[in-house]
Amino acid sequence: MKPTVRVLIASAALAGFAVSTAPASRDASEKAATFVTRIPSGYRDWRLISVAREEGSLDDIRAVLGNGRAIHSYREGKLPFQDGTIIARLAWSYDPSEENNRVFGRAQSFVAGHPKNGVQFMVKNSKKYAATGGWGFAHFDQGKSADEAMLKTCLPCHQAVADRDFVFTRYAQ
């Protein structure tokens, strides 16, 4: 496998998927889908789980946010995550801050720039997504969902942390 392809796949795996929370009867095609095709609403208001930095071709700084059920499970330390849990991965360009560097007196400060590498979600529904560890995965770039071929690459990497219910990110105290 080419390194570029490998990184793309790993990127998808480390962050992303999304599942619809709309009643299945409203959209038969959504019900049949293996992956999430609609962006969960209000995710930018969710609480912080943790932050991270990816070098390499991703070259971003990122935040992982969780809805109420996600935060509850993290804080309780209880696995598996409850149905209804949604975890979001946002990422931005990793920009040096000349403004901050001037204050620090040296080049050391990097801040979030423009949105980068899409937004990714994991949505827990143990029945609907039983075939993929109970999680529906999603990746959106400028509002557009990735195709199934890409989304199918999520689970194989998340298998590495099957003992943490397939979730890489740990809660930052």
Residue 20 or 169: which CB sits closer to a second copy? 169
- Give the binding-site size for a second copy (rule: CB under 8 A): 51
Smallest gap, in angstroms, from Cβ of residue 82 to a second copy? 18
Six token digits for residue 33: 């889908």
H or E element, residue 11: helix 3-15
Long-range contacts of 73-81 (CB under 8 A, 24+ apart): 74/49, 74/171, 75/171, 79/164, 79/165, 80/124, 80/126, 80/134, 80/165, 81/124, 81/165, 81/167
Instruction: Say which amino acid occupies 15.
Output: A
Considering only 18, 33, 58, 123, the residue that binds a second copy (CB under 8 A) is 58
Residue 37 or 169: which CB sits closer to a second copy? 169
Smallest gap, in angstroms, from Cβ of residue 33 to a second copy? 25
Residue 100 backbone dihedrals phi, psi, to 5 degrees: -65, -40
Which residues of this protein are in contact with a second copy, per CB under 8 A?
3, 6-7, 10-11, 13-14, 44-48, 50-56, 58, 61-63, 65, 90, 92, 94, 97, 99-100, 102-112, 114-115, 157, 160-161, 168-170, 172-173
